[in-house]
Amino acid sequence: MSVSGSLRKVTIAGPTYNAFGDVNISKTGSRFEIEHIPTSGNAVKKMTKRVEVIENVVLDLDSTQREDVKAVSERTDFYVMSIELANGDVYTATGSINYDTFESEENRSAVSMMAQNGWTLFAA
């Protein structure tokens, strides 16, 4: 039986951060956007490579950590990042993040994690 659900932890450019357990992240399903182009004969399959993104990653950060994550998001280089899911699966990639939002009511900081060359799964 497969276990699904929340994040256990998130690592971005070295430090590991606490993730909120009640969030539902979303991950790009495949590395390609596929479309079929009609022709006078059979349709042609067009595959366009796209960036694999993990969105809605919500972190519990103190003020110092928020500034650190903001600084990392503004870097021009790529860095190692990973997420660990509730079932123990770990996805890791080299890439960068967008620091999307900070909500003060519940101290939630949302980031999007973009892989340079896709995410690698290390299954539990």
| Stretches in the chain below the pLDDT threshold 50 | 1-2
Domain of 93 in residue numbering reads as: 7-122
Asked if residue 32 is part of any domain, the answer here is yes
Q: Please indicate, yes or no, whether the overall pTM of this predicted structure exceeds 0.75.
A: yes
**Which CATH number belongs to the domain containing residue 16 in this structure?**
2.40.30
Closest CA to 36 of 27, 47, 25, 28: 47
Question: What total of structural domains would you count in the chain?
Answer: 1
pLDDT tens profile 39-75: 999 999 999 988 999 998 999 999 999 999 999 999 9
Handedness of CA 35, 38, 41, 46 (dihedral sign): negative
